[in-house]
């Protein structure tokens, strides 16, 4: 785990150093981003029969990135983020979920925490106004650092039954994760060296880390995230 974190941090720092030597320093920016959205599993053909048992769950993200211009329109945007992915499973019988027994009628809310390295290309959409729209796409490489299972039941109100950490080693969880990412955003310069932005993005797993508890199948995640933040020129 420490080796992976060190590698990701050095990769990001190395990219910043490369940016300083290859791009105009005044145009390279650092950004801080926070986001909120939803996460669910992909409904592949193997789990179509039980897809109505699953619901999306809320997901948070926090991170930083660099924006390295290759001209007036295209830029490279690597980052380092903390993300959560998961889903909600509605049960109609007692069920073992990731090694934890969940009773009939409960909801099993699973969330996995990831450290991600997004590697994106960003295209600025030319405009004469103060607001600069842009589009971005690329891949995100991730590593799962932990998981949590929270069970709830609903009578007149929803209440928690228990919250338990998931032992990723015990369930042989595939920690490495790759996702395709794309989105749209808009940014505005507040001062020559300081700006703000808002954006929406969609991601879909290219790997299949989630072992579906009620059928013999594995799948990945999909999610939507709305984020905002600030940027600083170097």
Question: Beta-strand (E) ranges in 98-169?
Answer: 100-102, 107-124, 131-154, 158-166
Q: What's the pLDDT at 133?
A: 97
Q: What is the pLDDT of residues 60-92, one digit of tens each?
A: 999 999 999 998 899 999 999 999 999 998 877
Q: How many Å separate Cα 231 from the centre of its chain?
A: 20
Q: Are 55 and 88 in contact (CB under 8 A)?
A: yes
Q: What is the pLDDT of residues 26-49, one digit of tens each?
A: 489 999 999 999 999 987 766 776
Cα–Cα distance measured from residue 157 to residue 162, given in angstroms and rounded to the nearest whole number? 16
Helix H or strand E encompassing 177: strand 176-191
- Sign of the alpha-carbon dihedral angle for 150, 85, 66, 126: negative
What is the DSSP code (8-state) at residue 174? -
**CA separation for the pair 84, 62 (Å, rounded):** 10
Cα 185–Cα 188–Cα 190 angle in degrees, nearest 5: 150
Query: Where are the chain's structural domains?
Result: 2-233
In this prediction the pTM is 0.84
Residue bearing tokens 């290759």:
70
Which range (4-8, 33-37, 119-123) has the least confidence? 4-8
Q: What is the DSSP string of 57-92?
A: EEEEEEEEEEEEESSSSEEEEEEEEEEEEEEEEE-S
Is residue 117 over pLDDT 80?
A: yes
- CA-to-CA dists, residue 84 to 87, 92, 151, 190, 216, angstroms: 10, 26, 17, 31, 24
> Considering the domain 2-233 in this protein, what is its CATH number?
2.40.160.20
């Amino acid at each position: 785990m420490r080796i992976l974190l060190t590698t990701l941090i050095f990769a990001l720092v190395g990219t910043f150093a490369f940016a300083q030597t290859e791009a105009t320093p005044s145009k390279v920016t650092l950004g801080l981003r926070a986001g909120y959205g939803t996460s669910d599993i992909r409904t592949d053909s193997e789990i179509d029969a039980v897809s109505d048992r699953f619901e999306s769950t809320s997901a948070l993200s926090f991170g930083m990135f660099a924006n390295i211009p290759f001209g007036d329109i295209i830029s490279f945007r690597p980052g380092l983020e903390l993300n959560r992915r998961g889903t909600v499973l509605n049960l109609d019988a007692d069920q073992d979920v990731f090694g934890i027994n969940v009773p009939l009628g409960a909801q099993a809310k699973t969330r996995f925490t990831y450290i991600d390295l997004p590697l994106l290309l960003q295209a600025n959409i030319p405009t004469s106004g103060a607001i600069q729209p842009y589009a971005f796409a690329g891949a995100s490489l991730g590593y799962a650092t932990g998981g949590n299972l929270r069970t709830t039941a609903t009578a007149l109100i929803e209440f928690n039954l228990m919250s338990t950490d998931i032992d990723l080693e015990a369930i042989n969880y595939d920690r490495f994760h790759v996702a395709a990412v794309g989105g749209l955003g808009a940014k505005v310069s507040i001062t020559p060296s300081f700006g703000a932005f808002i954006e929406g993005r969609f991601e879909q797993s290219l790997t299949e880390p989630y072992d579906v508890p009620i059928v013999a199948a594995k799948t990945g995640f999909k999610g939507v995230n709305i984020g905002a933040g600030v940027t600083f020129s170097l």
